[in-house]
């Protein structure tokens, strides 16, 4: 069964790409088939994985849903 982990934060510079990179590397090194998808406009995760950002011919814009979708928020219980 596949597991999907998503990292998202609207604030830049808080380590999202670094955390995603380290998780992907750890999963891959322990034998899991791992796919890291970089939707950041700066492409830091892709660059860290060795992709030449100047050589890309594909963008994520055509595959993303329309921005008018409703925002869904989940309240996550936090132990006291």
Convert the pLDDT of each residue in 36-61 to its tens digit.
888 777 888 888 888 888 887 766 66
Question: Are the CB atoms for 40 and 48 separated by under 8 Å?
Answer: no
> Does the pTM of the predicted model rise above 0.75?
no
pLDDT above 70 coverage of the chain, percent: 71
Q: Left (φ > 0), alpha (ψ -120 to 50) or beta: where does 20 sit?
A: alpha
């Amino acid at each position: 069964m596949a597991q999907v982990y998503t990292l998202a934060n609207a604030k830049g510079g808080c380590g999202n790409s670094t955390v995603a990179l380290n998780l992907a590397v750890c999963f891959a090194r322990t034998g899991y088939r791992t796919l890291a998808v970089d939707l950041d406009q700066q492409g830091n995760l892709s660059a860290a994985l060795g992709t030449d950002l100047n050589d890309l011919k594909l963008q994520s814009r055509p595959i993303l849903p329309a921005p008018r979708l409703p925002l869904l928020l989940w309240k996550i219980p936090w132990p006291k």
